[in-house]
Amino acid sequence: MPSHRVKQMSVLTLNTLAFTACFAIWVMFSVIGIPIKTGLQLSDTQFGLLAATPILTGSLLRLPLGMLTDKYGGRMVFAILMVAVIPPLFLISMATAYWQFLVLGLFVGAAGASFSVGIAYTARWFSKSRQGLAMGIFGAGNAGAAVTKFVAPSIVVAWGWQMVPVVYAIALSVVVILFLLFTHTEKAHHVHTSVTIWDQIKSLRDPTVWKYCQYYSLVFGGYVALSLWMTKYYMGVYGHGIQEAALLAAIFVLPSGVIRALGGWLSDKFGAHRVTWWVMWASLACLFFMSYPQTDLQIHRVDGSTFAMHLGVNQYVFTALLFVVGICWGFGKASVFKYLSDEYPHNIGVMSGIVGLVGGLGGFVLPIMFGALLDLTGVYTTAFMLLFGVTLVSLMWMQYSGEREKDRTRRKQFYPIDTTS
């Protein structure tokens, strides 16, 4: 019989692996959607909808699957979810019409709901003082988006986009087998059977949770949206091919996923509010410069002569700013869930489902809005203008919500040394 420590590490490792695979599948259309867009002659809005369709179901299912995880345990729910995704994933390789991609995308999108299952399953195995780090390590499975950026373009170039869902279906089948072999369950981690789904839904009455939803709609929803959008952005703005564009996009995607574990540790040590506060300010500063479109100005002098001036960030400065935003949002994804583990320790499954649902919906709505704004204005940087506005709203809400004092109280409770200086 393995020790509790071994079970903890085994569950955390396989949970993270499974979530990485599911996340790679969830954002698959960010790469294969580009040749599909060309073949079907889709508009930018239609491309945005195609890339975002899986995000919709993955988001909507997070709340009910979070509830089921609280009630029946993460091992069973996670395994069933992965098995259910495999058939529609394979069928995508045979689709030919736009509506077929949308319908199959809805089914495959269920993979995104794995987050609310895995985060609750992981949190139950660790003490409160270590939950931030454990959930951060699990959340590093967001780097599955980087897996897609690295792997999918090479498959597209070598064998065509149709091979990508086939390879992913085979890989997910292997992950399911490993997950069932090396994970464990504890009945004590389940919510008592007298707690009904209606009791859990009542959590929606808490206004505080909607504030955390707003934060997560930016740090996670924005992350998903840019994961779907940046390959196309680099191709359209800077003229790169699909492989180069995907690799450049991975400079944002990969660190933002991996760094989440460090964000969890920082949230444990310094508190969720302090980490989230700096995340929002740093994001706001970067998005301000990224929002400025490439502009050519002609300046008229008093003597009647003119000279031209170009304003805008080049691809190197832009990529550096994008990298910083990715790091910030990686910290923010962890700090938001530290808020939840602090305030809702007994029903973290349903709370993570609620927050994950709204954050995921941000990842669904934002790419569609990116495409619509691009079709409407013809200006690529309108995507970052929109994100700048969302960040500003989050900062204002945070400033006037009284979070600082609550967070200071929590840190004094769990850490004898005052870290507020």
pLDDT in tens, the chain (421 residues): 677 788 888 889 999 999 999 999 998 998 999 999 999 999 988 998 998 899 889 888 887 887 788 778 888 999 999 999 999 999 999 999 999 999 999 999 999 889 888 888 887 877 766 777 787 788 778 788 888 888 999 999 999 999 999 999 999 999 999 999 988 777 665 555 455 556 656 766 777 888 888 899 999 899 889 988 998 899 988 889 888 998 898 888 888 877 877 888 888 888 888 899 999 999 999 999 999 888 888 888 888 788 888 777 889 999 999 999 999 998 998 888 888 878 777 666 677 777 877 888 888 899 889 989 999 998 999 999 999 999 999 888 887 766 555 555 544 444 444 443 3
User: What H or E segment, with its residue span, contains residue 92?
Assistant: none
Q: What CA–CA distance (Å, rounded) separates 204 from 5?
A: 35
Q: What CA–CA distance (Å, rounded) separates 138 from 418?
A: 28
Please report the pLDDT score of residue 196 as a whole number: 59
Phi–psi pair at 378, nearest 5 degrees: 75, 15
Residue carrying the six token digits 């729910």: 77
Per-residue burial over 250-280, b = 16 or more CB atoms within 10 Å of its CB, e = otherwise: bbbbbbbbbbbbbbbbbbbbbbbbbbbbbbb
User: What H or E segment, with its residue span, contains residue 27?
Assistant: none
**Residue pair 253/397 in contact by the 8 Å Cβ criterion:** no
Per-residue burial over 13-48, b = 16 or more CB atoms within 10 Å of its CB, e = otherwise: ebbbbbbbbbbbbbbbbbbbbbbbbeeeebebbbbb
Please report the pLDDT score of residue 183 as a whole number: 85
Packing angle of the helix pair 348-377, 207-219 (nearest 10 deg): 50
**Residue pair 330/282 in contact by the 8 Å Cβ criterion:** no
Q: What CA–CA distance (Å, rounded) separates 158 from 162?
A: 11
3-state secondary structure of 297: strand
Q: Which residues contact 389 (CB under 8 A, 6 or more apart)?
A: none
Which among 257, 238, 249 is positioned nearest to 327, based on CA atoms? 257
Please report the pLDDT score of residue 254 as a whole number: 82
Instruction: Please work out, in degrees rounded to the nearest 5, the angle formed at the alpha carbon of residue 39 by the alpha carbons of 35 and 44.
Output: 70
Q: What is the pTM of this model?
A: 0.76
Please report the pLDDT score of residue 264 as a whole number: 80
Please report the pLDDT score of residue 410 as a whole number: 47
Packing angle of the helix pair 315-343, 221-238 (nearest 10 deg): 170
Structure-token pair, residue 68? 């089921």
CATH class of 4-191+200-300+309-414: mainly alpha
